[in-house]
A = this chain, B = another copy of it.
Amino acid sequence: TEPFFLISGPCQLESLDHARMMAGRIAEACAPTGTRFVFKASYDKANRSSIKTERGLGIEEGLGILSKIRSEFGCPVLTDVHLPDHCAVAAEAVDVLQIPAFLSRQTDLLVAAGETGRAINVKKGQFLAPWDMENVAAKVASTGNRTILLCERGTSFGYNAQVSDFRGLPVMAQTGWPVVFDATHSVQQPGGQGLTSGGQREFAPVLARAAVAVGVSGLFIETHEDPDNAPSDGPNMIPIEQMEALIGELRAFDDLRKRPDIG
């Protein structure tokens, strides 16, 4: 079994220059361990807490930037899609389409995404059990798509809070699809700051280490050069200058987990 791949990037696309800078720094952070990465960024934050917060660059400019990152850095790129109509368009620019957690039961979106033939990363809804993801994956697979990723990102736990249930990783892996752990959204505090969501950045490396020890195919970690001033998800993103050390640590646990005698 292969080392984990990393899905990483800023939560939200800010500009071509910013995306280039981030992709470059993520590439540097991954280089020492030879970690493969997928560059992730959103062109549209379609479900923010408040209507007053920034939505992003929009689909046209956003996909243009992601295309350029892909060709300049030679890395696969990922973005999230919110409407069935956007899937085919986004699929021309990116390698992986991501289904947001809130939308993980929307049949038309899952099918439209699946039909593009691109890899599909489905976030598990905060309202779903791990075993519910078998039906979710089956909606994508009904299109013939065979490149499906199932991504854990936290489960509702009282109000404005979530919890990561690590039993869910092997449960989801029983579907046969690779499992990804999203370490930064898992420490989000949904709605926890009134008009925006809060976060507990300090626990993202802790939960990522737990996930790697349990066993995952991929990790999802959002990062930024200045999280406290990022346009979205700042409270849970990892500062880019900490990424190389974090990846190194996580790779040590992953190498151990994937030793032939473990598991």
Contacts and interface: CB of A to CB of B under 8 A. Distances in A.
A127 B190 contact: yes
Interface core residue of A102, A187, A213, A252 (most chain B CB under 10 Å) = A213
A12 to B, nearest CB: 14
A142 interface: yes
B191 A128 contact: yes
Contacts of A166: 164, 166, 206-207, 210
Given A156-B126, A213-B209, A50 B105 contact: no
A210 to B, nearest CB: 4
B127 A167 contact: no
How many protomers of this protein does the assembly include? 4
A114 to B, nearest CB: 10
Contacts of A131: 191
A71 B163 CA distance: 43
A75 interface: no
A263 interface: yes
Interface residues of A, number: 66
Interface stretch (A1-9, A89-97, A132-140, A226-234): A132-140
Contacts of A50: 135, 138-139
Contact of A48 (B51, B107, B159, B164): B107
A82 to B, nearest CB: 7
Query: Which 5 pairs between the two chains have the least Cβ-Cβ distance?
Result: A158-B158, A213-B213, A129-B159, A156-B156, A210-B210
B214 A209 contact: yes
A140 B213 CA distance: 34
A42 to B, nearest CB: 13
A253 B135 CA distance: 34
Nearest to A211: B210
Contacts of A107: 46-48, 51, 55
Contact of A156 (B127, B167, B249): B127
Interface string A149-169: 000000111111101111101
Contacts of A165: 157, 163-164
A159 B161 contact: yes
A156 to B, nearest CB: 4
Nearest to A128: B191
